Amino acid sequence: MRKSRQMQRKGAVGLYQLVRRIETTEMTPNIIEKYITRHTSLDSQTKGRLLAWKAELEFWQKFSEFINSNYGRPYLEGALYQDLTKHIEELISPKEGEVWFDPGCGKLPMSELIWQKSEGKLKEIWAADIILAPAKEKLRQFQKLPPIRLISADLQEKLPFPNNFFDGIVGNYVFTFVIEFEGQQGAAALKGVLQEMIRVLKPGGQLVWTMPKKDASNLLGLLFSLKYILNPLRWFKFKVFVPLTAIKTAKYTRQIEKKGKRGIYNLLTKREYEEILASVGFVNPEWRTTFAGQCWVNKVYKPGTICSG
């Protein structure tokens, strides 16, 4: 029993917090590897968590490199992703003077969407990720710099924001892929992430987030996209062989699908998501189906003075 309690206390340590005790740069797989090498006395549980985290960083780094390359453009500008973006835009209602949050910001597509929907009237957008290089590159491309503040932060642990800080949050394809939250895994990890979202939201604040369906079929998505993939005009437009984009995309989506079936990612049913959302206090769920019927877009509120729109 005593050993079990000790393990629980160790498990409660956020990995990002643990490694950042000696590192001040953005997190990379190499930094985690160096940390493990330097700390030979790490217990097996913590070392296992670090190795799993390192593998995840390597996977998402490679995916980020692909999605931000020329071969990723047909995906980001394709019908499936544009349909997803359209639903998010319809659900969010940022207003003048508000502060919004873009967790797992990547190259800032959601920050840009939030800013455009507010007609440039937001006070501030905080954009967080472990690796900020894509976001920094995007900021350099803006002709008129929006008020976006970048912060290096990990969704696997408590966020560096006070309670009731944000008016709205948009989490696009991020929460379900957090493999642990301060030592908790599975649905408990997702619940921990969502508890942080409701903590930093103001009363009445809205959360809009997306996730693959539990029974999502990559094949159906591929069939839906065939007319775009096989259209030579799109090859000319993007200056790449678009079928190769489809092959590269499928390589990553198959891995995500496998991890979901193994319980590494939290790909749940709509009812299971709603139960977790209700358990942490979110209310008034609204759902949209997108991505050729393979994904959900969900909007919920923190109880209080409910926003309209």
Q: How far apart are CA 266 and CA 17, in angstroms?
A: 23
Q: Please state the rounded mean pLDDT for residues 196-206.
A: 97
Q: Are residues 177 and 81 in the same domain?
A: yes
Q: Is residue 238 situated within a structural domain?
A: no
Q: Is residue 202 situated within a structural domain?
A: yes
What is the pLDDT, as a whole number, of residue 234? 76
Contact criterion met (CB below 8 Å) for 47 and 36: yes
Q: Are residues 35 and 154 in the same domain?
A: no
- In the chain, the number of structural domains is 2
Q: What is the pLDDT of residues 96-123, one digit of tens each?
A: 999 999 999 999 999 999 999 999 999 9
**Residue 24 reports pLDDT greater than 70:** no
| Residue that terminates a domain, selected from 19, 39, 67 | 67
Q: Is residue 233 situated within a structural domain?
A: no
Note down the domain range covering 15.
2-67
Q: Are residues 183 and 295 in the same domain?
A: yes
The domain that holds 129 is classified in CATH as 3.40.50.150
* 29: CB partners within 8 A, 6+ apart: 54, 55, 57, 58, 61
Q: How far apart are CA 100 and CA 114, in angstroms?
A: 8
| Residue that terminates a domain, selected from 41, 67, 93 | 67
**Residue 4 reports pLDDT greater than 50:** no
Q: Is residue 270 situated within a structural domain?
A: yes
What is the pLDDT, as a whole number, of residue 22? 47
Q: Are residues 29 and 79 in the same domain?
A: no
What is the pLDDT, as a whole number, of residue 217? 67
Q: What is the pLDDT of residues 255-290, one digit of tens each?
A: 888 888 888 899 999 999 999 999 999 999 999 998
Q: How far apart are CA 118 and CA 95, in angstroms?
A: 6
Whole-angstrom CA distances from 40 to 32, 44, 49, 183, 256 are: 13, 10, 15, 20, 32
Q: Are residues 187 and 274 in the same domain?
A: yes
Give the max Cα distance, the chain.
66
Percent of the chain with pLDDT over 90: 52
Phi-psi region of 31 (alpha: psi -120 to 50; beta: other; left: phi over 0): alpha
Q: Is residue 262 situated within a structural domain?
A: yes
